[in-house]
Amino acid sequence: MRLLLAISLLSALSTTAYASKARLTALGQDTNGSLYIQDNRNIFLNPARINKLKNHLNFEMGSTTAGTTPNAEGGVVTDFKSSKLGVQFGRLGHAGENIAVANNLVAGNNLIVPQNTFEIIYGTNSGGRDLGFSLLYGNSKSDTGKAANLPDNTASEITLRAGTTLTSGLEIFGYFDVQQKSKHENTTPATSFEYTGSGANLGLGATKRVMNDRFIASGFVTLKQGDIETNSTKTTVDTKTVQVQLTEEIKKTDKVLLFATAGVKYETGKVDFTGPTDFDLSTFSLPFVIGVEAKATSWMDLRASVAQTVLLDNQKTYNGTNEITTENKNSTVVAAGLSLKWEDFTLDGVLTGSTTGVINSTSLISQASLTYSF
């Protein structure tokens, strides 16, 4: 409460830099970029977006333990001659997400995710088109030395991304995972686990305003494949996801944004174990999100969203013998957050009561992010 009172006395209205995982979380979006909400973190979805950004620093507060959510990361976007250049430190890439899945699939896995990643984003304009490119790199190693010899861990990843924004308003973007690797070795007991991204690991998406700019149509397709090898077994994971959505701006003024998004998501997957037991998975759902963001005062914005897979949420798993079907399991998520602004600083956070229903005055916000514009 004292913090809010102090900011209300000292704050001065300034241009807000929306650039945080906290804001996207509160609005029911992916923290690595939204297909609709305009946010500085969209450069991690379409790097061409960097051309529209003002110079800023971002600080995402979180755990220093790699693979933990939220994780600590931060970076800068600045002018570079007639172009834009950004550097981000610590962002969790696709390899980290896929390695976490691998650890859950095979009992005993102790794989680490690539740590201390850094990403370089470059944007320019050519012929009236915004272009953007990025490279994410991470390489980690833990060697216990010759005396102990093992356990040892290594992990690495390289991801390339590119995107464009055309004069028509059409955006096209995608990524390709060049390398995903993680290996764990131990002598007592004698074990070895290794994850390797194999085949095509890529994503391709697009978004465009339609129907007199009132609606935004968007879609994204991803392909993922990886091998998990132990001393005597090999498991292959192969997934494909297709998602399309349509977003309506119900109300949009300089003070309020009210939107609703409805979509269709279809995902298929296959887990091929060594031996006769394999798994086939399929999910078909209709995700829906409604959210609002408003300027409560000159120094504070409030936002909230509710998300649910409406009417249809069908998941099937076939293990070679039985088919297990689940339908319409509880998927309702409510999130709320706020921004506190003072001159060139913006502090974003998710309200801790989003999941408990209780506002704790001693711990008002979580997943805090700080942005400084310059």
CA distance 126 to 135: 20
What does the pLDDT read at residue 233? 80
Question: Does position 232 have pLDDT exceeding 50, yes or no?
Answer: yes
Q: Give residue 352's pLDDT band: very low, low, confident or very high (50, 70, 90).
A: confident
Question: What count of other Cβ atoms lies within 10 Å of the Cβ of residue 35?
Answer: 25
What does the pLDDT read at residue 2? 45
Question: Does position 15 have pLDDT exceeding 70, yes or no?
Answer: no
Average pLDDT over residues 278-284: 84
This prediction has a pTM of: 0.87
Name residue, tokens 């755990």.
63
Residues 6+ apart with CB under 8 A from 184: 109, 110, 111, 112, 151, 152, 153, 191, 192, 193, 194
CA distance 314 to 309: 10
Q: Which of 26-30, 130-134, 282-286 has the lowest mean pLDDT?
A: 282-286
Question: Does position 120 have pLDDT exceeding 90, yes or no?
Answer: yes
Question: Does position 9 have pLDDT exceeding 50, yes or no?
Answer: no
Average pLDDT over residues 219-236: 87
CA distance 363 to 227: 42
Question: Does position 209 have pLDDT exceeding 60, yes or no?
Answer: yes
What does the pLDDT read at residue 85? 98
Query: Which tokens belong to 372?
Result: 């400084």
The CATH topology of domain 13-373 is Porin (2.40.160)
Question: Does position 324 have pLDDT exceeding 90, yes or no?
Answer: no
Q: Distances from the Cα of 224 to the Cαs of 63, 201, 217, in angstroms?
A: 27, 5, 24
